[in-house]
Every structure is written in structure tokens, then in C-alpha cells.
Amino acid sequence: MPIERSSRAPSPRLALAALFAGLLSGASACQTFARTDGLDISRIPQEKRSEYNLFADRCSRCHSLARPLNAGITREEEWRNYVRRMRRQPSSGIAPEDEDTLVRFLVWYSANRATAGGGEL
């Protein structure tokens, strides 16, 4: 009897696969955008990549990276105001010591938008 029942029961492996598929599709609705909508890292100079990675991590938590990348902001003071405002949002995950690096990257990006691929977002 136990043998017959097990042959009719859905494969545990399939059940597990279905569970994972469900989890993945459910998760994608509220996941960060960091890996899908940022810049192409190969177009960012080597020395700017760690700054970019910090930006891609810290600024993708609540909205797409396209939001800051397409905002049309260029001035350093303006970027600093934005970064500070974002940092002060509840659970932003942005530390005060991240500010300088984030502003440096954003100012560089504003001046190098075309070569960094920003116009294609």
C-alpha cells in the first residue's frame, strides 16, 4: 500500500520546484532594482566602479536607479541635498559617511552621462 500511494503522490521535487517558482515570482514584485536597471558597468571607468556600486546599492532600495540617473540634476549642492534627504528617510540604509562617495559619483555621472550610457535608460 505505501508503495502505491507514493507512486500517485506528486513528486516532492516538483512540489519544491513549484514552491520556488512561486517565491521567485512573488518576490520580483517588491525586489530592489539594482541588478536590472542601472548602468552597464563596462562603460564606467575602473576607478569609478566602487562608487557606482555603492550608489547602485544605496539608491535602489525604494525606487529604480533611473530615478536619480534621469533626474537631470547636475550641481553638486543639489545632489548633496538630494542624497541627504534620501538618507533621512526611515530605514534608508544610507549612512552619513556614504554621502561624500555618493555625491562624488553623482556629480561625475552628471558630467559624463553620455559616455556612461545614462542617455539610454
Q: Does 108 bind ligand HEC (CB under 6 A)?
A: no
Amino acid at 100: D
Q: Does 63 bind ligand HEC (CB under 6 A)?
A: yes
Which member of 44, 102, 110, 116 binds ligand HEC (CB under 6 A)? 102
Q: How far apart are CA 116 and CA 118, in angstroms?
A: 6
> Do 49 and 104 meet the contact criterion of CB atoms below 8 Å apart?
no
Q: How far apart are CA 38 and CA 59, in angstroms?
A: 10
Q: Does 65 bind ligand HEC (CB under 6 A)?
A: no
- Binding segment toward ligand HEC, per CB under 6 A, in 3-11, 24-32, 43-51, 63-71: 63-71
Which member of 92, 104, 107, 118 binds ligand HEC (CB under 6 A)? 92
Report in angstroms how near the CB of residue 8 gets to ligand HEC at its nearest. 50
Distances (CA, A) of 80 to 34, 92, 98, 107: 21, 15, 11, 9
> Do 73 and 79 meet the contact criterion of CB atoms below 8 Å apart?
yes
For ligand HEC, the binding residues (CB under 6 A) are 58-59, 61-63, 67-68, 71, 82-83, 86, 89, 92, 94, 102
